[in-house]
Chains A and B, each alone.
Chain A
Amino acid sequence: MTQVTQKLAEWIFNVLQPQYIHKELAFNHICIFLQRHLRQNLNFAIRTKVYTSIDSGQSNLLVNLFGSIPVDGDISVPVEIWLPLSYPFTNANALEIDNGVPMVYIVPDHSKNWYLKPGNYVDTSGRFYHPYLSSWFKGNAIKPTPGSSYSVTDLLDLIHEAVVSNPPIYSPARNGPIQNSASVSPPAHIIGTPQLPPKPPKIPINARDPSSTPVERQDSYRSPQPPLPHHPQAPQQTQQNLQYQQSPQLNNSQSLTHQGNQFYQSSENSDSQQPYPLSQQTTGSSSGPPLPQKPSRTSIDSPRREFTPKNNYQSPPPFGGESSSSGPVIPDKYRSPPPLPAELRETQSPLPFAGSPRPQTNSNVRNQVQSPVERFTPLQGTPPNSQIQAWNYYQSQIHQQQQQQQPLQVPPQQYNRNHLATPIQKDPSIDLLDSDSTAGPQVNTGSSNEHRQILEQLANKINAYLTDAYSDSIDNSLPMVRETQQKVDALYGQLNHIYQHATENSTNLDNHISYLTQQLSNITALNKDLAILDEINAQSNEHVSTSQGAKIHLDDLIIPDSPLVKQLYETVSEIKAIKDTINLVSGSFHSEKEIINDNRIDVCVKTVRNLGRELFWLELTKQEIAHNIMGLPPR
Chain B
Amino acid sequence: MTQIEPLTFNELRAFPLPKYLESLPNVNLQEFLGDENLIRGYVKELQTYKDHQAKILAQLKQSEAVLEDKILNDLIKKYAQIVEKITQQMNRITSLYQEFRNLEMYQYQLLSSNFNRDFLIKNKFGHLIEKNNQESIQLVKDFHSKVADESELEPRLNELITNFRKSRQQYHLRKEKLNRWNEERVSGSV
Residues of A within 8 A of B (CB): 438, 440-441, 447, 450-451, 454-455, 457-459, 461-463, 465-466, 471-475, 477-478, 481-482, 484-485, 488-489, 491-492, 495-496, 499, 502-503, 505-506, 509-510, 512-513, 516-517, 519-520, 523-524, 526-527, 530-531, 533-534, 537, 541-542, 544-545, 552, 554-561, 565, 569-570, 572-574, 576-578, 580-581, 584-585, 589-590, 592-593, 595, 599-600, 603-604, 607, 611
Contacts and interface: CB of A to CB of B under 8 A. Distances in A.
Nearest to B67: A488
B6 A520 contact: no
B39 A603 contact: no
B120 A537 contact: yes
Interface in B85-108: 85-86, 89-90, 92-93, 96-97, 99-100, 103-104, 106-107
B82 A558 contact: no
B129 to A, nearest CB: 10
A608 B128 CA distance: 29
Contacts of B165: 577-578, 580-581
A581 B164 contact: yes
Contacts of A545: 114
B63 A484 contact: yes
B60 A481 contact: yes
Given A520-B100, A523-B103, A595-B157, A488 B14 contact: no
B189 A557 contact: yes
Contacts of A572: 172, 176
A519 B124 CA distance: 33
Nearest to B85: A506
Nearest to A474: B53
The 8 closest A-B pairs by CB, nearest first: A530-B110, A577-B169, A573-B172, A577-B168, A509-B89, A573-B173, A475-B6, A523-B103
A455 B172 CA distance: 131
Contacts of A558: 121, 125, 177-178, 181, 186, 188, 190
Contacts of A502: 79, 82-83, 86
Given A440-B19, A474-B52, A481-B60, 17 more contacts: A455-B17, A461-B36, A471-B40, A477-B56, A481-B4, A505-B86, A506-B85, A513-B89, A523-B100, A531-B110, A534-B113, A559-B177, A569-B173, A580-B168, A589-B140, A595-B160, A611-B161
Given A474-B49, A499-B82, A595-B160, A466 B103 contact: no
18 contacts: A441-B22, A458-B32, A459-B9, A465-B40, A481-B60, A499-B79, A516-B97, A520-B100, A527-B106, A544-B115, A554-B125, A559-B177, A559-B187, A561-B185, A561-B186, A578-B165, A589-B140, A590-B137
B56 A499 contact: no
Contacts of A593: 144
- For B33, B79, B92, B169, the residue with the greatest tally of chain A CB atoms inside 10 Å of its CB is B169
A462 to B, nearest CB: 5
Interface of B: 1, 3-4, 6-9, 12, 14-15, 17, 19, 22-23, 25-26, 29-30, 32-33, 36, 39-40, 42-43, 49, 52-53, 56, 59-60, 62-63, 66-67, 70-71, 75, 78-79, 82-83, 85-86, 89-90, 92-93, 96-97, 99-100, 103-104, 106-107, 110-111, 113-115, 120-121, 124-125, 127-128, 131, 136-137, 140-141, 143-144, 150, 153-154, 157-158, 160-161, 164-178, 180-181, 185-190
Contacts of A565: 185
A512 B93 CA distance: 8
A600 B153 CA distance: 7
Contacts of B171: 573, 577
Given A541-B124, A558-B181, A584-B140, A458 B39 contact: yes
Contact of A570 (B56, B107, B110, B173): B173
Contacts of A526: 107
Contacts of A552: 189
Contact of A499 (B78, B96, B177): B78
